[in-house]
A = this chain, B = another copy of it.
Amino acid sequence: MAGGLPQLQDIVKEFTRKVYQPGYDNYSTLIHIGNTDGWVKALMTLCNPGEGILAAEWTYPSALSAMIPFGIKPISMPMDSQGIRSDKLRSLLSEWDKYERNMPRPHVMYTIPVGQNPTGVTTEAARKKEIYDICVEFDIIIVEDDPYYFLQQGPYVRPEERIHDHISFTSDEDYIAQLAPSYLRFDYQGRVIRLDSFSKTVAPGCRMGWFTCNSIFAERLERQSETSTQAPCGFGQSLVTALMLEWGHEGYIRWLRALRLQYKERRDFFVDCLHKEFHVEHEIILSGASEGCNGYLVFDRPMVSPSDGYEKYYPDARSKAMFSFVPPTSGMFIWIKLHLDQHPSLKELGTAGLEMKLWELLAEAGVLFGPGSMFGADNEVNGSESIGHFRISFSNAEAKDMEQAIVIFATVLRKFFKNI
B-contacting residues of A (Cβ < 8 Å)? 1, 33-34, 36-37, 40, 44, 49, 62, 65-66, 69, 203-208, 226-236, 239
Contact = CB atoms under 8 A, between A and B. Distances in A.
A205 B234 contact: yes
12 contacts: A33-B33, A34-B230, A37-B229, A66-B228, A203-B234, A205-B233, A207-B234, A208-B233, A232-B233, A235-B235, A235-B239, A236-B236
B207 A62 contact: no
Contacts of A235: 203, 206, 233, 235-236, 239
A33 B205 CA distance: 13
A40 B228 contact: yes
A229 B232 contact: no
A62 to B, nearest CB: 5
Contacts of A40: 227-228
Contact of A233 (B62, B65, B206, B226): B206
A37 B227 CA distance: 8
Contacts of A228: 36-37, 40, 66
A220 to B, nearest CB: 11
A233 B44 contact: no
Contacts of A44: 69
Of A205, A206, A228, most buried by chain B (CB within 10 Å of CB) is A228
A217 B44 CA distance: 23
Nearest to A66: B227
A291 to B, nearest CB: 30
A203 B238 CA distance: 13
Given A44-B69, A49-B49, A69-B44, A33 B234 contact: no
A206 B231 CA distance: 9
Contact of A229 (B33, B49, B204, B231): B33
A49 B50 CA distance: 13
B37 A230 contact: yes
A327 B25 CA distance: 52
Nearest to A5: B205
A143 to B, nearest CB: 15
Contacts of A36: 227-230
Q: 5 closest A-B pairs (Cβ-Cβ)? A: A205-B234, A233-B233, A233-B236, A235-B236, A65-B227
A228 to B, nearest CB: 5
A263 B208 CA distance: 32
A234 to B, nearest CB: 3
A33 B36 CA distance: 15
Nearest to A205: B234
Contacts of A232: 207, 233
A274 to B, nearest CB: 29
B229 A34 contact: yes
A229 B230 CA distance: 12
A33 B232 CA distance: 9
Contacts of A227: 36, 40, 62, 65-66
